[in-house]
Amino acid sequence: THQIERKPEWLKIKLTTGDNYKELKNMMRGKTLHTVCEEAKCPNIHECWAARTATFMILGDICTRACRFCAVNTGMPTELDLQEPERVAEASEQMGLRHVVVTSVARDDLKDGGASVFAATIRAIRGRLPLAGVEVLIPDFQGDEEALRTVLEAKPDILNHNVETVERLSDKVRAKAKYRRSLELLERSKRIAPSIPTKSSIMLGVGETWDEILQTMDDLRAVDCSIMTIGQYLQPSLKHLPVSKYYTPEQFAELKQEGLKRGFSHVESGPLVRSSYHAHEQVQSAKQS
Ligand code: SF4
Ligand code: SF4
């Protein structure tokens, strides 16, 4: 399509087909589990899976929200699957993962937003893979502090929650979330569990200005967020928010320097960077700092 032809050169992906990747792909087939890697057709899947990093999506694949950049289906969510934490742990073990990222759709229909299932999943993974890093990328739980506490009590290695975009565009890009509420979640997390590093991501190309990106960095540092990822937004379909701009690899590199200057312990910044990209290395640097 025209859409794809207009993409700049640096967004075209070189596919490597390592044995690791093929092996994992076969293993996932037939399992009733969802990985973001596959569902979001993440461009990094070969690299990540070869490096034994994967992102599982728990709590079903139907979201109660409908953010304008997101390809996940919206509607009435499915029944909770009580075996899910154990199955994620089992798959992680079979895949030999070194870094497991667990995320979910927003489940505003559940009393705790699914926090207890996040906690159970962290514990189940620890039970089978005591040496693997466990990162959770959580929804905002509608600002419920108890829900956040439930997740933190299970001691993830990284608590990740995305602001996704700059403050001015928040309402437009992710209608049911709030920029300040996301910052508050990150701040509370450091207050409740100071030793757990927090992480947040934004995607570029939805209409933000350069200064607004820098301001977002400052806002995240002000709540002691230590890991940041910055990637290019790509429109999943014509129904989704259009791309306002493609940033160059040089601009991403410059933003990485801006982030490091501001004191983040780790900044992943690049056109194809996604929230969990190189997540394993991020744990290392967070632990060293
Ligand atoms: Fe999966 Fe995240 Fe890697 Fe993409 S960046 S392949 S979603 S682990
Ligand atoms: Fe997608 Fe998350 Fe927004 Fe749901 S809350 S639509 S999964 S970005």
For 202, the 3-state DSSP assignment is strand
Q: Name the more confident of 263 and 25.
A: 263
| pLDDT digit string, tens, across residues 108-150 | 999 999 999 999 999 999 999 999 999 999 999 999 999 999 9
CA dihedral 30, 35, 41, 44 (to 10 degrees): -120
Residue 4 confidence (pLDDT) above 60: no
Ligand 2 site, residue 70, Cβ cutoff 6 A: yes
CA pair distance 202, 254, nearest whole angstrom = 15
Average pLDDT (156-163) is 97
CATH number at residue 55: 3.20.20.70
For residue 283, the enclosing domain spans 14-288
Please report, as a single letter, which amino acid is at residue 104: S
pLDDT of residue 287 exceeding 70, the answer is: no
Structural domain contains residue 3: no
Q: Is residue 6 part of a domain?
A: no
Kindly state whether residue 5 falls inside one of the protein's structural domains.
Answer: no
The per-residue pLDDT for 136 is: 97
User: Does any domain span residue 1?
Assistant: no
Burial 41-63 (b: 16+ CB within 10 A, else e): ebbbbbbbbbbbbbbbbbbbeeb
Question: Is the CB of 59 inside a 6 Å radius of any atom of ligand 2?
Answer: no
DSSP string across 45-78: HHHHHHTTEEEEEES-SEES---TT--SEESSPP
The answer to whether position 88 is within a domain reads yes
Pocket of ligand 1 (CB under 6 A): 36-37, 42, 44-45, 48, 53-55, 101, 274, 276-277
Is 7 inside a domain boundary?
Answer: no
Residue 193 lies in a domain: yes
Confidence of residue 282 (pLDDT cuts 50, 70, 90): low
Rg (CA), the chain: 18
Long-range (24+ apart) CB contacts under 8 A made by 191-197 are 192/148, 192/149, 192/152, 193/152, 193/155, 193/159, 196/152, 196/155, 196/156, 196/157, 196/158, 196/159, 197/157, 197/158, 197/159, 197/226, 197/227, 197/265, 197/283, 197/286
Average pLDDT for 228-236: 92
Overall average pLDDT of the 156-164 stretch: 97
Average pLDDT along the chain: 88
In the reported structure, the alpha carbon of residue 208 is separated from the centroid of ligand 2 by a whole-number distance in angstroms of: 20
Among all bound ligands, the one having the nearest atom to the CA of 66 is 2
pLDDT, residue 47, reads 86
**Count of structural domains, the chain:** 1
The residue whose C-alpha atom lies closest to atom 1 belonging to ligand 2 is 70
The one-letter amino acid code at 242 reads P
Q: What is the distance of C-alpha 12 from the center of its chain?
A: 22
Which atom, in ligand 1's list, is nearest to the CA of 274? 5
